[in-house]
Amino acid sequence: MSGVIIAAIVVGAAGIGLGFFLAFMSKKFAVEVDEREEQVRELLPGNNCGACGYPGCDGAAVAMCKGEAPVTACPVGGPSVADQIAAILGGSAGATEKKVAFVKCAGDCDKAKDLYDYDGVKTCAIVSSVPGGGAKGCSYGCRGFGDCVEACDFDAIHIVNGIAVVDREKCVACEACVKACPKNLIEMIPYKRTAAVSCYSNDPAKDVMAVCKAGCIGCKICEKECPIPDGAIHVENNLAKVDYKKCVGCGKCAAKCPKKVIEMFAVKKK
């Protein structure tokens, strides 16, 4: 009986000793956590889209608290979230420019020519890798199978009549669609009033017109109409490109474009 008692005492003493040891080690090697990280994390939307450049919202919160990322790093949260984070971390979010996704293609089913009937796997990534890049005559244009739609968690982009179209009011600038498009057709542009060219073809005018009624022909009329000194739109390699920092949204280039491939956007009144 005495042996059992001795064993119990030994086990108990060992347990108490181990407990003290673990408590000591936990304090000695404890990792200090910035309490602000949890507060910032609660403000972030939780989409973990990676648009901020960090591995999810947790990574973004840590980076902001360490001063490695600006409080405006989350495009999904936008200015309101940035202001709240700035209040926690100190300082000001400053002026932030809202951006939205824009698809540089207007070649829908009514305007773009198909060379044959494609009956393969219906994803943009797959069709872009086949010889000729699929049925569409323009090798630069939207394939229309919706890889961008699948990538968007905000229901902000849809396939309409064969091409991707962005809902500007739903877009949160997460850039998931930009990464999903194998043709590099989607770019982020200012939400404010601006012009944007809905074409991405660098082909000569003759080749463009042979496959699409809505392609830029590089005529440079837009350049001549732009009232901005040094111009806010220029034709480079047969394609008109807008300098969004200079564009004031006057609409003169769009009004004179013979192919009507320059779109004008205005801030929606609420």
Q: Output the six-digit token pair for 52.
A: 């901020």
Q: What share of the chain is helix, strand, coil (3-state, %, to 5)?
A: 35, 15, 50
The CATH number of whichever domain residue 136 belongs to comes to 3.30.70.20
* pLDDT given for residue 86 in this prediction: 87
CA nearest to 163, candidates 120, 129, 214: 214
Which residues face 102 on adjacent strands? Answer: 187
Phi, psi of 117 (to 5 degrees): -90, 115
Weakly modelled stretches of the chain, pLDDT under 50? 30, 270
Q: Which amino acid is at 185?
A: L
CA distance 182 to 185: 8
Question: β-strand 239-242 against 233-236: which pairing, if any?
Answer: antiparallel
* pLDDT given for residue 8 in this prediction: 61
DSSP letter, residue 50: -
DSSP letter, residue 269: P
For residue 4, tell me if it sits in a domain.
no
Q: Are residues 67 and 113 in the same domain?
A: no
> pTM value?
0.75
Q: Are residues 85 and 103 in the same domain?
A: no
For residue 23, tell me if it sits in a domain.
no
* pLDDT given for residue 30 in this prediction: 47
Q: Are residues 120 and 228 in the same domain?
A: yes
* pLDDT given for residue 19 in this prediction: 67
Q: Range of 132's domain?
A: 99-265
* pLDDT given for residue 136 in this prediction: 93
Contact predicate 253/225, CB 8 Å: yes
In the block, residue with structure tokens 């770019």: 187
Contacts of 55 (CB under 8 A, 6+ apart): none
Q: Are residues 163 and 237 in the same domain?
A: yes
* pLDDT given for residue 130 in this prediction: 87
Q: Are residues 227 and 110 in the same domain?
A: yes
For residue 122, tell me if it sits in a domain.
yes
